[in-house]
Structure 1
């Protein structure tokens, strides 16, 4: 059972968030071994919540566990990139198509509002343009979630959320690649415009292309 803290949250949840952020930011590198003592010091808590956090991270694909080496940060691979991209194009493309067909005025408002917030700030940090801003990523996730929020299937939304999370490290890596510059803001604007124009097939096609461009930049990276 999780160790409770003030506000009904759990220590395991805090440990999960802290370790996941280190992985997402690249401070814990792909393949790096994760030692319990180091993680306990990072999180400032006992081994039990840290172990629970690692179990959750492993289930989500951020870490792996080996009988001999223990826990490590999951490696990045071309095979996983292709698999995750194809799954996202299939699942999120269908979720968007359904949302465009079924969405009401409240859905339109969510799409407009989240796109407006996303467009207000740049993707890269001012001091390090090749590093993704955390607030941009939060708004980016909110925009993509809003686009598919009217699909009518809680199960499909759960699958899409997990795939979005699974693609996180690849998305961050794509921002740092030389020559990977593209009009991401324009791609998001097109998604919004096609969705609000009730062009279900066009919006789904734009989303598949949007994810495909990220994958294409990373394909070249892995090939090199």
Structure 2
């Protein structure tokens, strides 16, 4: 039993590390994920790596091609538009339920998540166009906490999946936010205020605007499939 638990723990750890590296842009869109190289990098067996990659296929963060192996997904603006709309619809419904069902504990935890987000450095030192990993995590945590009180596990799971997919796009087009004059911190303050005031209609409107503004920034920056490899951190030699 102990060996089985250890194996499950290792598999979860490798999956988490792979997920983090993919979202941070360690590999370019379309790049093949070599089992041998990954096994060496994560210091584990190819079996564990394959299991982790297979689970990430289910999360749509990895693409499995028959007889060819595992790849980082190639992104498209059309898909991002669909993902953004689905996220808006999903979270508009979720925030209405959360505002209705959330208790004092939820309010306190939401305020704490926002405080962490506010206090976390937004841009990477020396590169004001790149978001910090800590801020990205704090940002996701805040948005997850917003909907947590809806108490619908399926909705929450879908929210997390859509958040990951959006983050994957944002990593490759993160510099696009320079092209839009926006105050992201103020957007979060307004969303928080609406949730705490139990104003579901306002919170829904603000969440949609928050996501659609990012989409518009990426569109304005001219993000395309052709630009992914040449502009990616991996291609420029700055992969982490």
**TM-score, length basis structure 1:** 0.91
1:201 aligns with 2:201: yes
Does the CA-based 8 Å contact 2:110-2:146 persist in structure 1?
A: yes
SS of the equivalent of 1:203 reads helix
Structure-2 residue corresponding to 1:57: 56
Does the CA-based 8 Å contact 1:174-1:214 persist in structure 2?
A: no
Does the CA-based 8 Å contact 2:98-2:151 persist in structure 1?
A: yes
Taking only aligned residues, the RMSD between alpha carbons, in angstroms, comes to: 1.9
After superposition, what is the alpha-carbon deviation per residue over 1:81-103, rounded to whole angstroms, capped at 9, x for unaligned? 01110111011111011111221
Q: How far did 1:32 drift? A: 0.4
SS of the equivalent of 1:167 reads helix
Q: How far did 1:222 drift? A: 2.8
1:123 aligns with 2:125: no
Q: How far did 1:218 drift? A: 1.5
Whole-angstrom distance in 1 between the partners of 2:62 and 2:181:
29
1:48 aligns with 2:69: no
SS of the equivalent of 2:70 reads strand
Q: How far did 1:54 drift? A: 0.8
Q: How far did 1:185 drift? A: 0.4
- Which shifted more, 109-118 or 214-223? 214-223
After superposition, what is the alpha-carbon deviation per residue over 1:73-128, rounded to whole angstroms, capped at 9, x for unaligned? 01111122011101110111110111112211111111111111111123211222
Whole-angstrom distance in 1 between the partners of 2:47 and 2:67:
20
Structure-2 residue corresponding to 1:24: 23
Does the CA-based 8 Å contact 1:174-1:217 persist in structure 2?
A: no
Does the CA-based 8 Å contact 1:39-1:50 persist in structure 2?
A: yes
Q: How far did 1:208 drift? A: 0.7
Does the CA-based 8 Å contact 1:63-1:73 persist in structure 2?
A: yes
Q: How far did 1:18 drift? A: 2.4
Q: How far did 1:171 drift? A: 2.5
Count of paired positions? 221
Q: Unpaired runs of 5+ in structure 1?
A: none
Q: Unpaired runs of 5+ in structure 2?
A: 228-240
Structure-1 residue corresponding to 2:210: 210
1:159 aligns with 2:176: no
Q: How far did 1:174 drift? A: 4.1
Does the CA-based 8 Å contact 2:25-2:172 persist in structure 1?
A: no
Q: How far did 1:167 drift? A: 1.3
1:84 aligns with 2:120: no
Greater than 3 Å deviation, 4+ residue runs: 3-6
Q: Which structure exhibits the higher relative contact order, with contacts defined as CA atoms closer than 8 Å and separated by 6 or more residues? A: 2
After superposition, what is the alpha-carbon deviation per residue over 1:18-64, rounded to whole angstroms, capped at 9, x for unaligned? 22222112121100011111111111111110110110111111111
